[in-house]
């Protein structure tokens, strides 16, 4: 194997095991401050 092939293999392997992208943390954040202001006051 060449060095480039080893690097590509290592990057793909680490991307599978250490995937840090979790979309549920970004688009399901709950109601905003305007919604809370309407409920309180």
Tokens of 3: 């060095």
Rounded CA-CA distance 6/29 in Å is 39
Q: Which distant-in-sequence residues (6+ apart) come within 8 Å of 16 by Cβ?
A: none
Q: What is the pLDDT of residues 1-41, one digit of tens each?
A: 799 999 999 998 888 788 777 777 677 667 777 777 887 65
pLDDT at 23: 72
pTM as predicted: 0.42
Rounded CA-CA distance 1/7 in Å is 10
pLDDT at 3: 94
pLDDT at 41: 56
């Amino acid at each position: 194997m060449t060095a480039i092939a080893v690097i590509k293999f290592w990057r793909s392997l680490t991307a599978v095991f250490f995937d840090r992208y979790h979309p549920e943390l970004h688009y399901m954040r709950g109601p905003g401050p305007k919604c809370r202001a309407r409920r309180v006051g």
